[in-house]
Structure 1
Amino acid sequence: MTPPPPTALRRFIHTSRSVRFPSSSPPPLGSPSPSASAAGRPARSRSYKWTRRVAVVGVVGGGLYFVDRQFNASAISRSLRTAYIGILCTLDYKINFSPKKADKIEALHERVASRLGWVIDVNQGLYLKLGQALGLQAALLPKPYREAFGHVFDRAPAVSYSEVLGVFQKDLSLDPLEIFETFTPEPLASASIAQVHKATLKPGIGGVGHDGGGTVVAVKVQKPAIEKQMELDLFSYRSLMWLAEKLFELPLYFAADYVSTQMRLETSFTNEANNARRCAELLSQTPELREDVYVPRVYGEAEGCKQSDRIMVMEWIDGCRLNDKKQLEDWGLDLRETMDLAISTMSAMTFSWGFIHCDPHPGNLLVRPHPTKKGKPQLVLIDHGLYIDLPQKFREEYCTLWRSLFVLDVPKIESIARKWGIAVDANLFASAILLRPFQVNKHKHKKEEKKVQTQEEKEQSAYEQQVELKRRLRTMLENEQLIPRELIFLGRCQRMMQANNQLLGSPSSRVNLTARWASIGYTRSVTGSRSLRTVGTWTWLKDRYQDALFRFTLSIVDIAFWFTTQTQRVLPKEKGSWEDKLQAQFETMAKEEFGIEIDDKVFLG
């Protein structure tokens, strides 16, 4: 064969290099061309990566949520929920609290208060207690906050019986029926931290009951989630208080650590049992109360009854709530005697013992007919988880303050206020301590000045009024480091006892009865020996004068109390009891003197 010419060979080789032979398997029908696939590959790759990332985050997040819920009582989820609301509220305030939006400030408060209330409702548990702690300071905040925290008192759902069994198994490694003859699966009462079941001890444990059977007891079981949630919940509470201080520019955070410490102690039933025993011992040393006030017996290892830090067994007592007016009247118990006994007990704790039950709402102060005194009431104290100890120096100052209020010792009142880091008009300070309008220092032309201030306040916008309120409160609490933290709980106790008195129609002269116990505490713990030989003629005469003035002031208040009571009986249309009127006057005074709008009806629950 004749070889091809060189030119034809070169042309063939060049053509064969440029030809692309098809693959053995053709691309599917409708598939993009190679050039189109190459162009679309980056877009598809980015979309795929984002989808994969979202899926991974979802799976990991869902897994963490499941683990947190199943094994950590949702402690992290609760904290994240709180953090989200806190950030949302902060941004809302930063953006909308301004002079230009003064007409929308009330709506701003309502939004923020609603969110905080939602967090408490959803998280439940210790948040109810923390909500109560926030509620203690809500009197200084705008009205929507008082309404948001008003529902957290004395309200909590119960946990299932299976969860109760879990606590017994974990803490004691046994079933309730291994200790008790009977045990009610359904709780008779439920609070934020624990719930109470009625049970009967097995024979040989705790003695014999009244009917010859086993002793009837109340078994207090802590809700299992509390143990896991507590520290993160307390951290969230402190964070909220810090945030509130930044938002409102008010000294609110200074008490957060103190309140957190008390909350931790309240979750320890070992601590509660010790408080109950100590209270019973102090009662036995108080002649005025020891026969008329009773603390149910706590059963422990000494009585052959197992307990733990989350399980407590107490004597069962049948009684009614302090505010159950109908039941008290059906038993033929005098309302004034009953209320006097409750006020005297709390006053003795405050001024004589320095060891105070700080949750005296009606459900914790039971009343029953006296076992040995026919027709007389006996007060039964329960729920001893939250107590505070008053340092000796503070208790002496507090006794002195109450006495000074009734002898009109203005320099002493102002001196104590300064020691406590509180810069405020003596009249308002006195009224805040007594929870009633009280004037110890008359100012010339006061009424005329106040009329001008009130008119100016009316002309201010809502924004200007709240800015002025912040300024006044910052001035009042000029040195927060000096403010006794105990005042937080003392103020709460005083207000709760005032509310208890109101619920029964104000049968007791609360202020006078409290002042008398303050005088007893003053005499026993402050004055020491005040004989003529010890203190000298001038001081002895001054003591006699102040004592006479003290008694005279109390007599005047007693007369006013009696007159108001008789007026209500003679004129049924006369509305408002003694405490109602004092509260209304106090609220008016706080509004006019200081611009604070107080409404503590949450304590009436």
Structure 2
Amino acid sequence: MLNSARSQVRQYAASASASAPKRQRRWVRRSVVSVGLVGGLYLADRELNASALTRSLRTGWIGLICTIDYKINFIPSKADKIDALHERVASRLKWVIDTNQGLYLKLGQALGLQAALLPKPYREAFGHVFDRAPSVDYTEVQGVFRKDLGVDPEEIFETFSHSPLASASIAQVHKATLKDGSVVAVKVQKPAIEKQMELDLFSYRSLMWLCEKLFDMPMYFVAKYVSTQMRYETSFLNEASNARRCAELLAQTPELRDDVYVPRVFGAPEGCKESDRIMIMEWVDGCRLNDRQAIEGMGLNLKEVMDIAISTMSAMTFSWGFVHCDPHPGNILVRKHPTKKGKPQIIIIDHGLYISLPTQFREEYCNLWRSLFVLDVPQIERIALKWGIALDANMFASAILLRPFQVDKYKRKQKNKNDPEPEKSQYEQQVELKQRLKTILENEQLIPRELIFLARCQRMMQANNQMLGSPSSRVNLTAKWAAKGYASSITSPRTIHRVGMSRWLRDRLDNFIFNVTLAVIDVAFLFTRLKQWLVPARQGWEDKLQKQFESMAKEEFGIEIDDRAFLG
């Protein structure tokens, strides 16, 4: 019996040693198959889908890591390590944007605009997304032409530069010559955008939704609106339509039609169908709006240049209700006026991102600006309440104008009388800031989405003015256009018979206060310009306003604003 047991043990050992190589071989085969499958999917995604799936998985993975990191380390006991936490998370987000490129640069710009309210590491991480984007090879440009038009560029152009003259996140621009000798700019969408767009936008919306759920902050409410605008921006047929409409509206605006030019957009080449990824425009030479040396080299007046640029954006906002939402200095060019000697003319390009303002919102926005200058506090608070924004009148006015503005001095004085609060830890400051922002945005369903882009436009125009030394009185010029828009928005005559004596007199008083306020600000502006002229190193008007606004934001809300990205 003992011999029988020993025999069974030997048989089991022999069987086990014989099956071990078989298990190893099966494990190796499974591993090889798994690696081959993953590698095959990766290659297929890269070659056939422009790595759209890989980009989304990369984003999801980084989002998960950042979420876990915050949940574990954003706690009172680790208050002294919060700066390091922000640096880690910001570095990971920057890596995702830099690695994915394409539409992520555009989404990064959207995040960069909000980063002004975030801790310093995020401001530094997103500041680079406004820089030049890498270009694609000429062979890929050929591929877009062949797929969309069925021809090579050389078949429809007399000349076509193989190297792009400019490259952005979505497209790049080549200089070409038509068969009739006309010089044109050819905008070609990068081929990967078409395949990547929907998954990229889905990843963006998913991250915004996840952040809202995990951190209990209203963030997702802007995601759908931003995604829709991004889709419009990738459509060159939409851009061509925007450019033509802008030219038509300019022709109907006597104050601007001679001083602002929109390059002509050509239709599809003969024998070719229209393409949503290729656009041919008139070539126009000019320098960037913030190139002070080039503007002065042409003998042009900086104030006249900025007055035209600010007036154009103001007319779009308050009169047309059709707003170019990417007025960075590369999209507004300056040249000598072709018919007015010594005068400037600005050229508006890149018409991909426009918003149309609903009539009611535009009228309210005009009314808001007007109310700020006649100190109509009830009207200001009524509009803020209707828009779901829980800010006191002083902060709301300052945020709209991008300058410190007190419409209710009593509240300000009461706040100043309070005893100074004890110093708080980094963790306590950021928790408090979160609660304040949450309170401000608690009625996010009421907040007009258009405010997102209008605030961006205002800040960009302020930055353009700063870069030229603040030659233009931006606030006053914008307010005057707001008053024009307000007057034109009144559909019926405001006669004594129609509105009554009290309202009629109030209108006249408001108009008087409005003009006096503008006159006082103009005097202050001219005084600042005089001091700049006497002491060239002195800060300009916009620099002074920006510094005061940053100080007010920090004092009122604990927000450190640093939006140097707009100066790009």
What TM-score range do you get, normalising by the shorter chain?
over 0.9
**Residue 430 of structure 1 aligns with which residue?**
397
Alignment equivalent of 1:120, drawn from 97, 104, 109:
97
Question: Aligned pair 1:386/2:353, yes or no?
Answer: yes
Q: CA deviation at 1:534?
A: 2.7
**Residue 185 of structure 2 aligns with which residue?**
218
Cα shift readout 1:426-479 (whole Å, capped 9, x = no counterpart): 1000000000000000125736647634x32xx211111111111111111120
Alignment equivalent of 2:425, drawn from 449, 455, 461:
461
Alignment equivalent of 2:69, drawn from 92, 97, 103:
92
Question: Do the aligned residues in 1 keep the contact of 2:189 with 2:277 (CA within 8 Å)?
Answer: yes
CA distance in 2 between partners of 1:88 and 1:497 (Å) = 37
Cα shift readout 1:273-308 (whole Å, capped 9, x = no counterpart): 000000000000000000110000000049887641
Alignment equivalent of 2:320, drawn from 340, 348, 353:
353
CA distance in 2 between partners of 1:451 and 1:145 (Å) = 33
Cα shift readout 1:192-240 (whole Å, capped 9, x = no counterpart): 000000011112xxxxxxxxxx110000000000000000000111112
Q: CA deviation at 1:52?
A: 2.5
Q: CA deviation at 1:335?
A: 0.0
CA distance in 2 between partners of 1:335 and 1:568 (Å) = 14
Q: CA deviation at 1:138?
A: 1.8
Alignment of 1:274-293 (within 5 A): 274-293=241-260
Question: Do the aligned residues in 2 keep the contact of 1:434 with 1:511 (CA within 8 Å)?
Answer: yes
Query: CA, structure 1 residues 135+53, in 2 after alignment: closer, same or farther (shift >3 Å)?
Result: same
CA distance in 2 between partners of 1:184 and 1:445 (Å) = 60
Question: Do the aligned residues in 1 keep the contact of 2:268 with 2:275 (CA within 8 Å)?
Answer: no
Aligned partner of residue 330 in structure 2, secondary structure? helix
Q: CA deviation at 1:569?
A: 1.5
Alignment of 1:157-172 (within 5 A): 157-172=134-149
**Residue 487 of structure 1 aligns with which residue?**
451
Question: Do the aligned residues in 1 keep the contact of 2:298 with 2:336 (CA within 8 Å)?
Answer: yes
Question: Do the aligned residues in 1 keep the contact of 2:149 with 2:272 (CA within 8 Å)?
Answer: no
Q: CA deviation at 1:50?
A: 2.9
Cα shift readout 1:480-511 (whole Å, capped 9, x = no counterpart): 10000000000000000000000000000000
Aligned partner of residue 152 in structure 1, secondary structure? helix
Aligned partner of residue 363 in structure 1, secondary structure? coil
Task: For 1:593, give the aligned amino acid.
Answer: E
Cα shift readout 1:523-548 (whole Å, capped 9, x = no counterpart): 00136412233322211111000000
**Residue 551 of structure 2 aligns with which residue?**
588
- Cα RMSD over matched residues? 1.8
Question: Do the aligned residues in 1 keep the contact of 2:336 with 2:345 (CA within 8 Å)?
Answer: yes
Alignment equivalent of 1:477, drawn from 436, 441, 444:
441
CA distance in 1 between partners of 2:215 and 2:294 (Å) = 45
Cα shift readout 1:320-351 (whole Å, capped 9, x = no counterpart): 10011011101110000000000000000000
Instruction: Give unmatched runs, 5+ long, in structure 2.
Output: 5-9
Question: Aligned pair 1:501/2:465, yes or no?
Answer: yes
Alignment of 1:521-532 (within 5 A): 521-526=485-490, 528-532=492-496
Aligned partner of residue 57 in structure 1, secondary structure? helix
CA distance in 2 between partners of 1:564 and 1:54 (Å) = 73
**Residue 513 of structure 1 aligns with which residue?**
477
Query: CA, structure 1 residues 527+567, in 2 after alignment: closer, same or farther (shift >3 Å)?
Result: farther
Question: Aligned pair 1:294/2:261, yes or no?
Answer: yes
CA distance in 2 between partners of 1:400 and 1:343 (Å) = 19
CA distance in 1 between partners of 2:431 and 2:564 (Å) = 25
Query: CA, structure 1 residues 412+263, in 2 after alignment: closer, same or farther (shift >3 Å)?
Result: same
Task: For 1:95, give the aligned amino acid.
Answer: I
| TM-score of the two chains, using structure 1 as the length reference | 0.90
Task: For 1:388, give the aligned amino acid.
Answer: I
Alignment equivalent of 1:241, drawn from 184, 192, 208:
208
Aligned partner of residue 291 in structure 1, secondary structure? coil
| TM-score of the two chains, using structure 2 as the length reference | 0.96
CA distance in 2 between partners of 1:225 and 1:109 (Å) = 32
Query: CA, structure 1 residues 596+277, in 2 after alignment: closer, same or farther (shift >3 Å)?
Result: same
CA distance in 1 between partners of 2:298 and 2:89 (Å) = 47
Identity of matched residues, %: 73
Question: Aligned pair 1:51/2:14, yes or no?
Answer: no
Aligned partner of residue 452 in structure 1, secondary structure? coil
Task: For 2:542, give the aligned amino acid.
Answer: E
Task: For 1:440, give the aligned amino acid.
Answer: V
Aligned partner of residue 362 in structure 1, secondary structure? coil
**Residue 197 of structure 1 aligns with which residue?**
174
Q: CA deviation at 1:596?
A: 1.3
**Residue 124 of structure 2 aligns with which residue?**
147
**Residue 507 of structure 2 aligns with which residue?**
543
Alignment equivalent of 1:556, drawn from 503, 520, 542:
520
Alignment equivalent of 1:138, drawn from 98, 108, 115:
115
CA distance in 2 between partners of 1:449 and 1:368 (Å) = 49
**Residue 55 of structure 2 aligns with which residue?**
78
Query: CA, structure 1 residues 471+310, in 2 after alignment: closer, same or farther (shift >3 Å)?
Result: same
Q: Which structure's CA Rg is the greater one?
A: 1
Query: CA, structure 1 residues 137+247, in 2 after alignment: closer, same or farther (shift >3 Å)?
Result: farther
Query: CA, structure 1 residues 503+247, in 2 after alignment: closer, same or farther (shift >3 Å)?
Result: farther
**Residue 396 of structure 1 aligns with which residue?**
363
Q: CA deviation at 1:120?
A: 0.3
Alignment equivalent of 2:14, drawn from 33, 37, 44:
37
Question: Aligned pair 1:263/2:230, yes or no?
Answer: yes
Aligned partner of residue 284 in structure 2, secondary structure? coil
CA distance in 2 between partners of 1:302 and 1:521 (Å) = 40
Task: For 1:91, give the aligned amino acid.
Answer: I
**Residue 8 of structure 1 aligns with which residue?**
none
Aligned partner of residue 133 in structure 1, secondary structure? helix
Q: CA deviation at 1:40?
A: 2.5
Question: Do the aligned residues in 2 keep the contact of 1:68 with 1:75 (CA within 8 Å)?
Answer: yes
CA distance in 2 between partners of 1:412 and 1:437 (Å) = 19
Q: CA deviation at 1:84?
A: 0.5
Query: CA, structure 1 residues 448+301, in 2 after alignment: closer, same or farther (shift >3 Å)?
Result: closer
CA distance in 1 between partners of 2:552 and 2:307 (Å) = 27
Query: CA, structure 1 residues 450+193, in 2 after alignment: closer, same or farther (shift >3 Å)?
Result: farther
Task: For 1:100, give the aligned amino acid.
Answer: S
Q: CA deviation at 1:246?
A: 3.6
Alignment equivalent of 1:111, drawn from 76, 82, 88:
88
Alignment equivalent of 2:305, drawn from 309, 332, 338:
338
Alignment of 1:592-603 (within 5 A): 592-603=555-566
Aligned partner of residue 221 in structure 1, secondary structure? strand
Question: Do the aligned residues in 2 keep the contact of 1:266 with 1:272 (CA within 8 Å)?
Answer: yes
CA distance in 1 between partners of 2:261 and 2:271 (Å) = 23
Task: For 1:523, give the aligned amino acid.
Answer: A
Alignment equivalent of 1:362, drawn from 329, 332, 355:
329
Q: CA deviation at 1:54?
A: 1.9
Aligned length: 561
CA distance in 1 between partners of 2:19 and 2:327 (Å) = 70
Instruction: Give unmatched runs, 5+ long, in structure 1.
Output: 1-17, 19-32, 204-213
CA distance in 2 between partners of 1:445 and 1:597 (Å) = 20
**Residue 384 of structure 2 aligns with which residue?**
417
CA distance in 2 between partners of 1:224 and 1:450 (Å) = 61
Cα shift readout 1:172-202 (whole Å, capped 9, x = no counterpart): 0011111111111111000000000001111
